[in-house]
Structure 1
Amino acid sequence: MTHYPLIAPRPPKLSEHLDALRRVEQSGIYSNNGPEVRGFEADVTERLFGGAGASLAVANATLGLMIAIREAATPRFAPGALALMPALTFAATAQAAEWAGLTPLIADIDPETWSIDPDIEERLLALHGRRIAVVVPYATFGNAIDLDRYAWLQRRYEVGVVIDAASSLGTIDAAGKGFGADAPFATVFSMHATKTFAVAEGGLVHSGDTGLIDRLRAMINFGFQGQRSATLPGLNAKLPEVLAVMARAKLEEIEAVCAGRAAVEAAYRDALGDRFMLQTPLGTRRAIQFMPVLLPEALAGKRAAIVDTLAAEGVGCGQYFSPHLGEQPWFRDTALIEPTPVSDAVAGRMLSLPVTDAMTADDARRIAATLARACDAQAGTAPTAAYPTAPAIASLLVIGGGPAGTALLDAATKRGLLPDLAASGLVMVERDTMLGGGRLGRYGINSDSTAETFLSAIKDNVHPELADLIDHPAARDVARYSGALGVPLTVAGPLIRAMGERLGSLVERHGGTLLTGHEAIEARQTGDGLWNVRLRRLADGAEIEQRARHIAIATGGHQPLDRLAQQQVAGAPLVASAGDRLIQSDEVLGVDGYARIADLLGGKRDPRVVVIGGSTSAIATIALLLKSSPAIPWGPQAITLLHRRALRPFYPTPEAAHEEGFTDFGPDDICPVSGFVYRLAGFRLEARELVLRMMRVDGRTPEPRVRFHRIAGDDAEARGHLAEADLVIAAMGYRPRVLPLSDANGDPIDLAAHHDAAMVDKHCRIVGADGQPIANAFGIGLAAGFVPWGPMGGEKSFVGQANGLWQWQNDVGLMIVDQVLGQSARAVA
């Protein structure tokens, strides 16, 4: 039986290069960029990169990544700076970023090329802005990814770029050049014994920017430039002369090696392509290290058995990269991880087949046939994709696992009730691949909750898994805003996701069920007092019905377009007044919203904007317009706020208000529990400061680019502002996303939320249009319309809806938990 090892290292034999070794001995130079290293660098630049740019030999590729990442990140290097990279790469990519002082930001991949998804990449660059100090794409399995696009990203976002091309030395791009030639950033290659360019150990950094290579050369020599005095961050990463001898020898044979491996890859593709999913190749030739292939989805659960069968047939097999970065324990605790559904699926089905210098195309065809037989043997017993085991009747089915849904779980932890809630038959339904996602982290504004509020959810939590998050990078990022006017939601979002992931693990450990990647379509009452909830799995559209004693809708809010058609402002229909100049604030507040506004107003010499509304989102919209960059040339009073109700600032005590000369409040405006003035109606943090300025409280100077105008009935002045505006932004709050509910006869239930009323009552119960609560149905979250009462506090004068993460994570969430567990206990009794 012929044996095919996955990897068969074949570096040059030193015994065949005695003359070169004698040359090293005679020179008396064994390291420190000696003649062999310099000769190799010049030769490899000429032969693999067409003489363009310069190359730097390093002791290994990980050290090369470390110095290149650190150098590229320098303009944005600061505590909490991020290195954006794909999930499907080797641990060295993320480790190098961490050793360089950055936090890895791990993102999902494209389903065809298996490189970082370009749309996600650009979304995250817009989302995190200057916090991303460097982008570190991986040239997956030797693929020649589009470096021109990364040069554009480097210019567009003024961000550092370093290409991890560990397996690509010898790859040729689509233009027929060596991969990395002419690129304005560093491309880092490995010369490890297991790579196609096999030496023993070593790496190579190439760039079209010779000045960059000069800086990196100093950095690998302790940061010395010229004299022995550190002027740059540095370490010792120099390649020894003996290894340079081997590298020069390998360079002589690399063309033949790559050509042979390319023939093996072509044979694999011909034999496997009709049955297995293969990576889309990029470039004209890959310096392929092994052949990656995805098992059919139905056989993913049988991968271990297939690997054992291949081994018994003499075929070595690997699983690069499974687990991917986002699944590895160290990075789960130290990195920021985006949802990675494609990486999860690809890593879960990945096999790596042998490609060695000794193999032929016939060998590849024989291995492909062996793989096919192994899969056929397992096909009859392969499990089909099934739903996770869920209770026949859930005690509570929570629809939505974003900030509000996870806040309910966090509230349960505050009284040690999460284990009981989970064990009673809790089912969480979430469209995303993990709990804690939602849209909160995709807004480009600051929170109206403090950093301390976000951290209170985990600090000293009874569950160590949550308490330990206080040292997670996401929590440290939030903590940096302690005492500030809120937290950027792009910073708060990763902490909510990290909490959601751990809360989900706690739910499952204590007997609850997570149905991530699912959506609820509708819920119908049954004759026996239960709910039948129809669920759809997003991956394949499969549907089930889940019965539940209670449901909780935590699906957030939105700004429906039909509301604009009915809106009257200053005595005239808003749509008629604003026409095609009208947009909603939710479009502005997203991370790419300001760029859209800048485009809409581009070319206007004196742009005029009207914002309509008296909510936090209205003030947040104005703050975003004022502080974002590149700045729009706002003139005096260029931004007008039209509002109906008086704008109220929050104060911690009546005395604090009086000290600043603010007296526009009475006894009904003071919370009887906390003593706060306008506890619910008052603007806080960044919005509060703008309101106080515009009201000239305590001698504050109004923002000259803004004016506030309170609408009074048929208001001609307000209509004039609307007529003059280049853009009108409606910031009229949010309405809840309400799941369709029907009664036991299948007839739709008319809800109060359908008529612009609050979705829930004082007990968080969903309310019908008749004002009566719907049995065993709860709501929580943005736009639910809950108003605190009794021991929860709040001023008597408050009108409207109260939305607050702290409330959801405490009294509001516990109100639902207590009702569910109380009824469950009575049912058991």
Structure 2
Amino acid sequence: MEYPLIAPRPPRLSEQKEGLERIEASGQFSNNGPEVRALEAEMVAQLFDGRGAALAVGNATLGLMIAIRQAAGMHPAPGTLALMPAMTFAATAQAAIWAGLTPLIVDVDPQTWAADPAEEERMLALHGSRIGVIVPYATFGAVIDLDRYAWLARRHEVGIVIDAAASLGTLDQGGRGFGTGAPFALVYSMHATKTFSVGEGGLIYSGDADRIDQLRAMTNFGFESGRNATLPGINAKMPEVLALMARSKLAELDSICAARAAMDREYRDALTGLSCQRVDAMRQATQFMPVLLPAELAPRRAAIVSALAADGVGAGQYFSPHLGEQTLFRDTALIEPTPVADDVSARMLSLPITDAMGPGDATIIAGRVMAAIARVATQYGPVSASGDAVQGCVMIGGGPAGTAVLTAASKQGLLERLAGDGLVMVERSARLGPGALGDYAIRSDTTAETFLSAVRDNPYPELAALESHPAGQMMARHCGALGAPLSETAPLLTVTAQRLRDIITAHGGDVLTDTEALSAQQTEEGYWRTTIAGPGGQRSLTSRSLVLATGGYQSDEQIAESMVAGARLGALAGDRLMRSDALLRRGGVEQVAARLADRRAPRAVIVGASTSALASAVQLLKCHDLPWGAGAITLMVRTLPKPFFPSVEAAEAEGFTDFTPDDVCPVSGFVLRLAGLRLESRELVMRMLALGGRTPDPRVTLHRIAGDDDPEARRIIAQADLVVGALGYRPHGLPLFDTNGQPIALAYRAGRPMVDRHCRILDDRDRPVPNAYGIGLSAGFVPWGRLGGEKSFQGQANGLWLWQNDVGQMIVEQLLGQGTQGWSSAAA
């Protein structure tokens, strides 16, 4: 037997001869005629205990538009917000936009899938009176707490409109029709696909009859009396023929809802291993059966739907994509982090509940669902000994380095293949892309052109289009400048990551935000089992490969324990010590100004010669609140900082000769390609070295540490009011365990590079850990072979361009089983 997902069964017009003749005889086919008035009265009497009033409308979207407009104050100011959950139909946000409001989209509760109450209240506290209306959705016909919304309306003086599209026939805990007596408007749908199946049509109900009277005028062009428009209005009236059909449907609604409730119970008993929505209603008007696939099967949903179709079962995925993932709303709405909705939407599977089904059919469908899941799990990938589906790769970290791997794959046209192989990206924060870059107050040491190169001429049109996106245009304004403000790099990185995510999820991959990886353990089969914790609790993912793009960090302890001039920096500096990472973040310079406010002639020491050290000096020099005098800022280094040059000729033209042939990259011809400082940091070094006719800044001086016995270095630190430690970053990493559950000792924990020349994670004996790769800040990668770089370079290379190109490509090729042969043959 075939089971379509939706099988509309509206009343047959052919059986409504008497009613149609009655309409013809009345001569009134619209404009609140007798059939519409009769329907409204019958609805209030049968569904809402005779309390309040109802208004029939042409469709539920029209009903939402006028109800939202009324609740927001008739003439909302530009920028007024309509607060709504991510898990609802597009019509909700569309109605808000047509009413002149901006949707504000928030996350949902993991059990009910309705708006998260804590998020709603957080938004009310954050935006205050700018929120004109809250538009909760009674998800899939569920019951939500209307008393709470009445309280919110009073407390915050905010309008409320309940999107109850699927709820005609739902009974609350007291056995009354959902919405009975509510002081605000509830909007219900009579679309052919709903339990209350008519064809089109909608109903607005409120316990406040005066509210309905005003809404009735708004449905009739805003005419409160005569032909004088006094209110914002449109034509939203229900035709008489639709009202006739709706009256017929109302007569059979109780029996329909009871039969569907029985199917819901049957499904719940038969669907083992699948999560269902929590039901708080006495009876829910069930349109279809929504269930969640196990998280590890989310990337295989499309295949499961296809397998069910082959077995005669129609299946859908309401609502996937959710509002926050849809293009229009991402461009026009305010979207808060939605990790729960992301997870629910990715796992949602909608199963048939139709009027054509009978007892036992839900059990049959459930059996076909479980069989389809088993077939897909076998067909599309191995299953581990624990029964988990095996993904191709679990990538930990969705910041600049992690998304750079995806960018590298996109540039090679391999992103679809990588996703289809079973890619799962795990990101601890609520969004992909910028990581913490937007938290920094400095300019990038990467050019704006490099940021744009991720999307420019990309093989994927949706990525290439970002060059003309507002975020791309913002970045383009900084082309040719000394980097871009890091705060302005975040929008482009964010929207690029969103498009990458769309491509991944559309081709079988998955992205889990607001989810933290806790550890990973090798299995007997040679896989990695990664334990993660997210909105749905703690669980594990099994994969062939593991990529750590977890970034780096500085700690006060790390900086304090660093040896400088034969002593620990913490012992030399005491409470005057500050991490460069803290100084470079937003508010860092203000902290320094506050600490040194009582110093007439403040003195600062920056220990280190890295980009962070020079950027710290640049930030201090920009702080005009502090009276830096001559020699007030000392850059204390072991190795003299040097600038980057695009060629030997360019270096010589600027008067820079402190380099040898080993400092020239054999691939690009750049001088000090890896070790040389760039952009703002380079400009400061050029001034310090008086190159190209530049005049040194008298406020900055240089001290080169003379080994462990350097009393002058210790004296300079002792006399400083501020000591900034710019001594590098350490990898965040991830605890890795062997098959016996014992920790794997890793090289980076002993202070050595995290990865080898192929980006493979190294153990404490510098051996590659099988199928584990690393990339990003402090990973310790050193370019080689065709990647270029000067022979003299000592240290590690961190650069967005490298990550988005050769380094990312190297990892992608290994994940897809292409090995490292092409790279090995390119070794210098």
Aligned to 1:469: 466
1:114 Cα deviation (Å)?
4.1
> For 1:646 and 1:460, how far apart are their aligned partners in 2?
39
Aligned ranges 1:427-576 → 2 under 5 Å = 427-528=424-525, 530-548=526-544, 550-576=545-571
> Is residue 114–residue 140 contact of structure 1 (8 Å, CA) maintained in 2?
no
Query: How much is the aligned-residue C-alpha RMSD, in angstroms?
Result: 5.0
- Aligned with 1:326 (options 324, 327, 341): 324
> Is residue 76–residue 100 contact of structure 2 (8 Å, CA) maintained in 1?
no
> For 1:117 and 1:494, how far apart are their aligned partners in 2?
23
Structure 2 residue 697 is matched with structure 1 residue 689: no
SS in 2 for 1:477: helix
> Is residue 422–residue 511 contact of structure 1 (8 Å, CA) maintained in 2?
yes
Quote the sequence identity (%). 47
Residues 344-370 of structure 1: per-residue CA shift (max 9 Å, x gap):
79999xxxxxxxxxxxxxxxxxxxxxx
> For 2:723 and 2:228, how far apart are their aligned partners in 1?
66
Aligned ranges 1:214-293 → 2 under 5 Å = none
> Is residue 451–residue 479 contact of structure 1 (8 Å, CA) maintained in 2?
yes
Aligned to 2:64: none
Aligned ranges 1:315-464 → 2 under 5 Å = 326-333=324-331, 339-341=337-339, 391=381, 392=383, 393-464=390-461
SS in 2 for 1:617: helix
Matched length: 592
Structure 2 residue 732 is matched with structure 1 residue 737: yes
1:307 Cα deviation (Å)?
6.5
1:752 Cα deviation (Å)?
1.5
> For 2:662 and 2:125, how far apart are their aligned partners in 1?
49
1:113 Cα deviation (Å)?
5.5
> Is residue 397–residue 548 contact of structure 2 (8 Å, CA) maintained in 1?
yes
Aligned ranges 1:650-799 → 2 under 5 Å = 650-713=644-707, 714-799=709-794
> Is residue 108–residue 120 contact of structure 1 (8 Å, CA) maintained in 2?
no
Structure 2 residue 46 is matched with structure 1 residue 2: yes
- The AA in structure 1 aligned to 2:391 is A
> For 2:626 and 2:54, how far apart are their aligned partners in 1?
60
Structure 2 residue 640 is matched with structure 1 residue 638: no
> For 2:604 and 2:720, how far apart are their aligned partners in 1?
5
> Is residue 618–residue 731 contact of structure 1 (8 Å, CA) maintained in 2?
yes
1:476 Cα deviation (Å)?
2.0
1:300 Cα deviation (Å)?
4.3
1:434 Cα deviation (Å)?
4.3
The more displaced of 440-449 and 538-547 is 538-547
Q: Which segments of 5 or more consecutive residues in structure 2 lack a partner in the other structure?
A: 1-44, 57-68, 87-91, 109-114, 137-148, 160-184, 186-203, 219-224, 233-273, 289-318, 347-361, 384-389, 822-828
Aligned to 1:65: 77
- The AA in structure 2 aligned to 1:546 is T
SS in 1 for 2:479: coil
- Cα distance change of structure 1 residues 435 and 245 upon mapping to structure 2, 3 Å threshold: closer
- Cα distance change of structure 1 residues 787 and 696 upon mapping to structure 2, 3 Å threshold: same
- Cα distance change of structure 1 residues 774 and 345 upon mapping to structure 2, 3 Å threshold: closer
> For 1:616 and 1:525, how far apart are their aligned partners in 2?
37
SS in 1 for 2:590: helix
- Cα distance change of structure 1 residues 409 and 336 upon mapping to structure 2, 3 Å threshold: farther
> Is residue 336–residue 474 contact of structure 1 (8 Å, CA) maintained in 2?
no
- Cα distance change of structure 1 residues 117 and 613 upon mapping to structure 2, 3 Å threshold: farther
- Cα distance change of structure 1 residues 303 and 741 upon mapping to structure 2, 3 Å threshold: same
> For 1:304 and 1:243, how far apart are their aligned partners in 2?
44
> For 1:449 and 1:764, how far apart are their aligned partners in 2?
22
- The AA in structure 2 aligned to 1:596 is Q
- The AA in structure 1 aligned to 2:396 is I
1:782 Cα deviation (Å)?
0.9
- Cα distance change of structure 1 residues 455 and 178 upon mapping to structure 2, 3 Å threshold: closer
- What TM-score do the two structures reach when normalised by structure 2? 0.61
> Is residue 107–residue 339 contact of structure 2 (8 Å, CA) maintained in 1?
yes
The more displaced of 337-346 and 537-546 is 337-346
> For 1:119 and 1:620, how far apart are their aligned partners in 2?
39
Aligned to 1:614: 609
> For 2:53 and 2:340, how far apart are their aligned partners in 1?
27
1:614 Cα deviation (Å)?
0.9
- Cα distance change of structure 1 residues 791 and 599 upon mapping to structure 2, 3 Å threshold: same
> Is residue 754–residue 761 contact of structure 2 (8 Å, CA) maintained in 1?
yes
Aligned ranges 1:85-96 → 2 under 5 Å = none
> For 1:488 and 1:63, how far apart are their aligned partners in 2?
39
SS in 2 for 1:308: coil
> For 2:497 and 2:454, how far apart are their aligned partners in 1?
11
- Cα distance change of structure 1 residues 611 and 141 upon mapping to structure 2, 3 Å threshold: same
- The AA in structure 1 aligned to 2:748 is A
SS in 1 for 2:776: coil
> Is residue 635–residue 705 contact of structure 1 (8 Å, CA) maintained in 2?
yes
SS in 2 for 1:542: strand
SS in 1 for 2:537: coil
- Cα distance change of structure 1 residues 720 and 244 upon mapping to structure 2, 3 Å threshold: farther
Aligned to 1:599: 594
> For 1:571 and 1:761, how far apart are their aligned partners in 2?
31
> For 1:500 and 1:521, how far apart are their aligned partners in 2?
23
SS in 2 for 1:664: coil
SS in 2 for 1:583: strand
> Is residue 62–residue 93 contact of structure 1 (8 Å, CA) maintained in 2?
no
SS in 2 for 1:668: helix
The more displaced of 298-307 and 646-655 is 298-307
1:582 Cα deviation (Å)?
1.5
SS in 1 for 2:532: strand
> For 1:764 and 1:709, how far apart are their aligned partners in 2?
35
- The AA in structure 2 aligned to 1:65 is A
Residues 553-581 of structure 1: per-residue CA shift (max 9 Å, x gap):
11111124443343121232211111122
Aligned to 2:799: 804
1:244 Cα deviation (Å)?
9.8
> Is residue 422–residue 510 contact of structure 1 (8 Å, CA) maintained in 2?
yes
Aligned to 2:266: none
SS in 2 for 1:605: coil
Residues 91-129 of structure 1: per-residue CA shift (max 9 Å, x gap):
688899999xxxx9988899546457479969xxxxxxx
> For 1:6 and 1:648, how far apart are their aligned partners in 2?
79
> For 1:690 and 1:658, how far apart are their aligned partners in 2?
18
- Cα distance change of structure 1 residues 241 and 436 upon mapping to structure 2, 3 Å threshold: farther
> For 1:243 and 1:726, how far apart are their aligned partners in 2?
75
- Cα distance change of structure 1 residues 108 and 585 upon mapping to structure 2, 3 Å threshold: farther
- What TM-score do the two structures reach when normalised by structure 1? 0.61
SS in 2 for 1:2: helix
- Cα distance change of structure 1 residues 480 and 96 upon mapping to structure 2, 3 Å threshold: farther
> Is residue 105–residue 336 contact of structure 1 (8 Å, CA) maintained in 2?
yes
> For 1:336 and 1:688, how far apart are their aligned partners in 2?
39
> For 1:398 and 1:681, how far apart are their aligned partners in 2?
29
> Is residue 115–residue 137 contact of structure 1 (8 Å, CA) maintained in 2?
no
Residues 764-784 of structure 1: per-residue CA shift (max 9 Å, x gap):
111222222222221111111
1:513 Cα deviation (Å)?
3.2
> For 1:404 and 1:120, how far apart are their aligned partners in 2?
35
> Is residue 52–residue 205 contact of structure 2 (8 Å, CA) maintained in 1?
no
- The AA in structure 1 aligned to 2:773 is F
